[in-house]
Structure 1
């Protein structure tokens, strides 16, 4: 009985923090790490980068669910989440979030002083993002910038300094995430407009929002091409991966329209998981071979 409860609780937390979506920024973080080190860094660095990443993304998703609990309860689509259903309590999720963020800060301290010094910036972004939908339609971009902390942070963890390559990668990560978040947010157009929730679909309409998402993803590819140009480790395999990603982007945008949002979840999540895996596999192979 105790074991069953533990398993159920672990499952609820896994769903709460969307553990299956880890791949979205992990691919950028790992490739940035490999490019920064021009190969594999030490096991020590790899370990603490992964610890920092998991602490940050898990804590960020957990605090997002706490901050949005009341909004989620009103929205029929999100009312089935763990907090609105009462499967988890706010207080315990806040404690869980604090533990995750503490782990992130400890990991940053174990990497180098610059990572520790900048960790409050990361914490600020992870917390403020959840409030942005209350006052700005640019919330999707704030989410993207928060996600971009993964590749920029990984680069800093290895080198202790910044350069153009991680900035281009961070910009690509920003627009990629913002683009598919706009697509996902399109399904909440009616709820958002009726409840004063700010988003690009609510501000500009679903049709224009989908065009903006397409533009963001086109720029994402251009930025990733610049990443390849700036790196002396990336070549044919990497660009093959970008070609695959381009095809997946086209498929993603073809399956949604203002008149048909039934495939929004597939377009915004499933397709982008494939994009992330393609980027990870091709990028890692080219960076290491």
Structure 2
């Protein structure tokens, strides 16, 4: 069932499969969910619900990573950034990957039982996107949009878990999350442009071509606009506006960094990681507002 180098214990290989050795990608899904919980509760959500959201985000993102690697098992070996992933390198078998994905989804399902009916149904609706997102790059020109919509479910699920409904403000936060995700995931895709072009798979970075950096800037600008409307609709306090200002400055700086045509591949990963801290800055502003 397992085949891997003797130098790495099985549990470490599974950790790599779940991407828990790279927390940025896990945290960046959790952040919009926490935005929604604290906004919907006006700053005082039930602690058990916060725990469910955190654990649910970890389980869902882990499941998504494994499902992605299962679909891309024969593509990842052709990409420099992904060729050493456990399924791509055959360190773990397909059977093991399926079992791990099922366990992660099962953990998410158990946590979803804590939620109200609307939130639970939204969880169910999100599952097809999680499972099918990796296929989007094979036929859809902007697969990052599919991922962004999937990310947006974190907002809908978490908000409705507090209020039992979807409000106008929820959609502004959803829009901000979708645009933010489109921005940082397009940056992430920019590192793989040459490999993706050679293999023949789609990405937003390839779709926008020479205008990819400008597209990222537009997505971040749209995120700011959505957050401004959200703050106005909800009458949020000074801490939120300070956080949004900090985020806007950071995104403008990232846009400036992306404008040169020749950039080291490591820069794209750095900008992706910076967005985790930007997200936490906004979360802090929301909590204090």
Contact kept? 1:75, 1:191, Cα under 8 Å: yes
Cα distance in 2 for partners of 1:118, 1:273 equals 25
Contact kept? 2:32, 2:177, Cα under 8 Å: yes
Cα deviation, residue 22, structure 1: 2.1
Please identify, of 65-74 and 112-121, the stretch whose mean Cα deviation from structure 2 is larger: 112-121
Corresponding residue for residue 34 of structure 1: 38
Corresponding residue for residue 56 of structure 1: 60
Q: Calculate the aligned-residue CA RMSD, in Å.
A: 2.1
> Do residues 275 (structure 1) and 270 (structure 2) align?
no
Cα deviation, residue 258, structure 1: 5.2
Corresponding residue for residue 216 of structure 1: 219
Corresponding residue for residue 114 of structure 2: 110
Corresponding residue for residue 128 of structure 1: 132
Between the two proteins, the alignment pairs up a number of residues equal to 281
Going from structure 1 to structure 2, the CA distance change for 1:7 and 1:109 (only over 3 Å counts) comes to closer
- 1:201 match: secondary structure: helix
Q: Which runs of 5+ in 2 are unaligned?
A: 1-7
Contact kept? 2:133, 2:143, Cα under 8 Å: yes
Cα distance in 2 for partners of 1:34, 1:203 equals 35
Corresponding residue for residue 227 of structure 1: 230
Please identify, of 191-200 and 142-151, the stretch whose mean Cα deviation from structure 2 is larger: 191-200
Cα deviation, residue 14, structure 1: 4.8
Please identify, of 8-17 and 45-54, the stretch whose mean Cα deviation from structure 2 is larger: 8-17
Cα deviation, residue 239, structure 1: 0.6
Displaced runs of 4 or more, over 4 A: none
- 1:79 match: secondary structure: coil
- 2:113 match: secondary structure: helix
Please identify, of 134-143 and 10-19, the stretch whose mean Cα deviation from structure 2 is larger: 10-19
Corresponding residue for residue 160 of structure 2: 156
Given candidates 250, 256, 259, the residue that maps to 2:258 is 256
Cα distance in 2 for partners of 1:41, 1:178 equals 28
Given candidates 238, 261, 266, the residue that maps to 2:270 is 266
- 2:53 match: secondary structure: helix
- 1:84 match: secondary structure: coil
Cα distance in 2 for partners of 1:109, 1:28 equals 21
Corresponding residue for residue 180 of structure 2: 176
Cα deviation, residue 161, structure 1: 0.9
Deviations 1:239-258 (A, max 9, x none): 10011101110121222235
**Which structure has more helix as a fraction of its residues?**
1
Going from structure 1 to structure 2, the CA distance change for 1:33 and 1:209 (only over 3 Å counts) comes to same
The TM-score, its normalising length taken from structure 1, stands at 0.89
The TM-score, its normalising length taken from structure 2, stands at 0.89
